[in-house]
Chain A
Amino acid sequence: MLLTEQEAKALTDKLLSMVKADDATVGVGSDKLSHLRFAGNNVLTSGTRTSQSANVTVWVEGRRGSATTNDLDEASLAAVVEQAQAIARTAPVDREYMPTLGRQIYKPSKGYVEATANLSLTDRAKHVGEILGEFEKNKVIGAGFHSARAQSGATATKNGNFDFERTTNVSLSTTARMPDGSSSGYFLRSHYDIARLDTRRIAAEAIRKAVSGRGARAIDPGVYTVILEPQAVADLIGGGLGFAFNARTAEEGRSAFSAGGKTKIGQQIFDEKVNVYSDPWNADVPGSQSSQGGIPAEKIVLVKNGILQTLVYNRYWAKQKGVDPTAGPVNTIMESGVSASTIDEMIKSTEKGILVSRFWYIRGTNPRNMSQTGLTRDGVWRIENGKIAYPLKNFRFNQSTIDLLAPGNVLMMGKPERVGSSEGGGGGASLLPALKVKEFNFTSQSEAV
């Protein structure tokens, strides 16, 4: 059911042939989703959905209009083109119009695996059945979600560009709770290749966290040295970090990366160990071959040794400022500029601290310093004298990302892992390390499990 490159090309050619407007960008997409949700050691819901779409944006004398449909027959395509043109004819002039791109050369990234796109229902039932069996064997109440998705689509412009891509993603998350509700554990991983999704590890980790989280104690909220597992880092700063370096908002003075009427480009914004970049061809988290506006994506370094290297210009803002538009970002990769540490090494080096598995319900409170609030969830442990001493009850935190990664606050960094935000259900995975930070602000306790 996924559109092939030839089918997508035929559809975008057809759409463009129908366009009478001065300029246009058209797109077609197809999507196949298959999922199984389980809870209370039982199957809850399961289903598949195929979908498709066509979108058209046109400019008539600099006026812009857009329309979408999910019916790809000829009459519907003609209707969607006409509707976009009708909107454009009555719209005011688009002051930020940039002529669409001519033909671009893309270097494909590899994020599609046929076996993920066509997973077997019986294989999935077998894997989930094994997980339910592990829950029962370990006397926990388990829940989880297995989801496989394949997408293909193309964008084409009236000026001659054509960009086809297809991707797959399979994710599994599991939660194990003790029957008395005293403890809960969670683990999530995803991959574009179903063969590389370790379903046993995902279930085992959730069970281990739940079992070892029994007897949690409450300690006062306050400022603590904290070790964040990669999942906690993904939840806290995750994929959003790579996309936060917006040049326009910084130059307009409404960003954490502006101060005193200037941007912070070239300044030491993070600890010198911290490197942040985007790389479409990374083998673990391949990104799109095309970045904003269809520009061929390239590897871009955003932060090098803690120094802000790049702010991201879209085509319009780049033209206003007389600079080149930025060829990214398309993903977020954070890694240490010095040798990486394991979580065990981080624990051993900590006299007093807290280990955090995961955060939940994170919301911004202050864009000026990228402050957020949220809670720990599914596994918090007290560290004393280089060892895990006992499990802790959950906390609410209030923490600025700028302060979190500030010079001197990042004590150790792990080897980055492919991990997605748990609130995002594992979609949009990034490559993120465990972090040991000197100061982290817990502001109240939560009795939630």
Chain B
Amino acid sequence: MSFSRRDFIKSAGLALGALTVPSWMYSAEAYPGYFPEVNKDTLAEAALSLAKRLGASYADIRINRYRLEAVNTREKQVLNVSAGQNFGFGVRVLVNGTWGFAGSPLVTAEEAQRVTREAVDIAKANSAIQRKKIELVPTPKIVSTWKSSFDKDPFDVPADEKVKMLLAINEAALGVKGVSFVNSGMAWVNEQKYLATSDGSRIEQYLIRGNPSFSVTAVDRATGDFQAVNAPREGQAIGYEYMSKHDWVADAQKAGEHAVMKLKAKPITPGKYDLVLHPSHLFLTIHESIGHPTELDRALLWEANYAGTSFLTPEKTGKLQFGSKIMNIVADRTQERGLATVGYDDEAVPGQKWNLIKDGVFVDWQTTRDLAKLVGRDKSYGCLHADSWGSVPFPRMPNVSLVPAGEDVTQDQLISGVENGILIYGRGSYSIDQQRYNFQFGGQTFWEIKNGKVQGMLRDVAYQARTTDFWGSMDAIGGKSTYEIPGSFNDGKGEPGQSNAVSHGCPVARFRNINVLNTAGTPTAGMMEDDN
């Protein structure tokens, strides 16, 4: 469906209480000459009716436009300023209980018909070898529009203003004695998504995401050592106001000071430590050890050939003690600034919020319409997503977040209860097995805690743990004042590989008696076995 500006204001006013006129209604055709407007409803009707005539029990078409802008710098120079647009459509059909999909960048009625036939041909060719038919749970017909929350459209901000901001970041970092290099960049993404389904849904959505970043490096040429510290914040579903909401320049200076400090920091002595994990670090641990194992497609072996399966299985639902009793995890596609926040997923299911872990017990899954059917549910939680018009939509992670303590507990209060521990900030190296049992995480900066007080900086720290042991050892979490919502801009999964952006809100949290290793050399777990 094509929306006029008046229609949009009317529907947005009803649905969102929004009174301001969104700039994108004027600037969707951001650069003159790009992409002649097409009547999406007409195109969709042609594709969906043909799919039905050719035998599809269900069909959908997504007609999507993506805008991307990236600015990258190093030290005092600009490496690149680039802008890109990408427009196309994908048709998904279910024929004889078998999926077929085809996509094309040529957005015309004639091509829509050709692509629909191709999708049906694929489904029919493969239905001959299909063992069990795919079925979908129903979902209500939706006719709506939705826009993500932002104040300042980054595509309205001139490139030179972005360059100026990044060079100021670099200057602040380079002003620190001992800093040798700095890279900085920002990426902005705009998705304009149209979805029509054979169930009658017609949905338009407009999303903005931003990912500013920097990395500061200090080099000690005499020893050959070098250490880097990255920006303390991650990407969010936010407009250009992100750049004024925080003092990125002061952050860069601090990162520079920490990079220099890291060169002389005390190497960690391997052993057991209590850990206090800041949200800038903890979010990725949540992502890997809770977000992925609660994906139902993994538990049903759909990802067995690539990302892996899960230690969670359907019979463990409502029974498995995943973590300590203070642990509550919500999946939430409505969370403000969440990278996976949407109005509707890619098969017209509304964004929702639900519990994955309640009082430490694993209680529910991330689902789509086909997955929900396989575990006897009557509705989907709306986790279907494709990263492009040309990608097959499949189950992707919603925002998965740790609920903060009801009372306001500060980071200092958590630290005061630690005799021998480490405070960790930032996203470092991360690795986890294919069923999500065993993980190892590093960070950006590490601080020794002795007798309830933060001491000096440590280096070369990583911790290894078993997922349920780790979450079982969480004995305290911070309150709302410590809550942040960092996220991962590019989370890979699936075949062909697709990228998803997803956030993980969390407060600071404390974990007891965790195995920590030193990553400077090649860490070993024992002596060499005797051999020939």
Contacts and interface: CB of A to CB of B under 8 A. Distances in A.
Interface of A: 33, 35-37, 39-52, 64-71, 75-76, 78-80, 82-83, 87, 90-96, 121-122, 124-125, 128-129, 132, 141, 143-145, 147, 173-175, 177, 181, 184, 186, 220-225, 252-254, 258-261, 349-353, 360-369, 371, 373-375, 377, 394, 396, 398-400, 403, 425, 438-439, 441-449
B438 A94 contact: no
A446 B438 contact: yes
Contact of A91 (B85, B163, B432): B163
Nearest to B98: A43
A66 B70 CA distance: 10
Contacts of B520: 366, 368
B101 A48 contact: yes
A141 to B, nearest CB: 6
A79 B305 contact: no
Contacts of B221: 253, 260-261
Contact of B433 (A48, A349, A360): A360
Given A121-B121, A352-B531, A64 B301 contact: no
The 10 closest A-B pairs by CB, nearest first: A79-B33, A47-B101, A222-B526, A129-B129, A68-B84, A49-B390, A448-B435, A448-B433, A66-B82, A446-B438
Contacts of A396: 431, 433, 438, 440, 464
Q: Which of B128, B158, B515, B523 has the most CB of A within 10 A?
A: B523
B137 interface: no
Contact of B85 (A69, A349, A373, A425): A69
A350 B529 CA distance: 12
B31 A36 contact: no
Interface string B225-269: 110000000000000000000000000000000000000000000
A132 B131 contact: yes
Contacts of A221: 525-526
Nearest to A92: B78
B303 interface: yes
A291 B111 CA distance: 36
Contacts of B433: 360-361, 375, 377, 394, 396, 446, 448
B215 to A, nearest CB: 11
B31 A398 contact: no
Contacts of A90: 158-160
B217 A254 contact: yes
A259 B432 contact: no
Given A46-B126, A223-B528, 19 more contacts: A40-B302, A43-B130, A46-B123, A47-B103, A47-B122, A49-B390, A70-B105, A71-B105, A95-B77, A121-B125, A147-B496, A222-B524, A222-B527, A260-B221, A361-B431, A373-B440, A394-B433, A398-B522, A448-B435
Contacts of A121: 121-122, 125-126
Contacts of A367: 226
Contacts of B462: 365, 373
B496 A350 contact: no
B438 A144 contact: no
B176 interface: no
B429 A223 contact: no
A52 B77 contact: no
Contacts of B127: 43
B88 A46 contact: no
A317 to B, nearest CB: 13
A261 B221 CA distance: 5
Given A46-B126, A369-B522, A361 B531 contact: no
A94 B77 contact: yes
Contact of B305 (A51, A174, A439, A442): A174
A83 B83 contact: yes
A87 B224 contact: no
B24 interface: no
Contact of B129 (A43, A48, A399): A43
B301 A39 contact: yes
A44 B302 contact: yes
- Select the residue from B83, B98, B391, B431 with max chain A CB neighbours within 10 A: B431
Nearest to A41: B131
A143 B225 CA distance: 45
Contact of B531 (A129, A353, A449): A353
A163 to B, nearest CB: 20
Contacts of B426: none
B466 to A, nearest CB: 8
A360 B438 CA distance: 12
B134 to A, nearest CB: 8
Contacts of B300: 40
Interface in B433-487: 433-438, 440, 442, 460, 462, 464, 466
Nearest to B121: A121
Interface in B376-416: 390-392, 394
A380 B532 CA distance: 20
B524 A42 contact: no
Interface string B126-148: 11111110000000000000000
B514 interface: no
B163 A223 contact: no
A222 B529 contact: yes
Interface in B9-49: 31-36
B224 A46 contact: no
Contacts of B494: 37
Contact of B434 (A36, A41, A42, A375): A375
A43 B494 CA distance: 14
Contact of B219 (A75, A252, A362, A375): A252
A6 B305 CA distance: 40
B104 interface: yes
A94 to B, nearest CB: 7
27 contacts: A35-B495, A40-B301, A47-B102, A48-B101, A48-B102, A50-B104, A67-B84, A68-B84, A71-B105, A83-B83, A87-B81, A145-B495, A221-B526, A223-B525, A253-B219, A254-B226, A258-B224, A363-B431, A365-B429, A368-B226, A394-B433, A396-B438, A398-B522, A438-B531, A444-B464, A444-B525, A448-B308
Contacts of A377: 308, 433-434
A420 to B, nearest CB: 13
B8 interface: no
A315 to B, nearest CB: 15
B273 interface: no
B521 A369 contact: yes
Contacts of A132: 129, 131
Given A52-B105, A425-B496, A143 B432 contact: no
Contacts of B460: 366
A147, A258, A446 — most chain B CB neighbours (10 Å): A446
Nearest to A82: B33
A8 B165 CA distance: 38
B129 A67 contact: no
A398 B105 CA distance: 44
A403 B301 contact: no
A400 B432 contact: no
Given A47-B122, A64-B80, A175 B305 contact: yes
A362 B434 CA distance: 11
Contact of A143 (B132, B305, B435): B305
B528 A439 contact: yes
Nearest to A366: B519
Nearest to A352: B531
B326 interface: no
B122 A46 contact: yes
A359 B88 CA distance: 37
Interface string B336-370: 00000000000000000000000000000000000
Given A252-B181, A261-B222, A365-B519, A92 B163 contact: yes
B199 to A, nearest CB: 20
Given A47-B392, A425-B495, A79 B34 contact: yes
Q: Which interface residue of A36, A252, A366, A441 has the most chain B CB atoms within 10 A?
A: A366
Contacts of A258: 224
B118 interface: yes
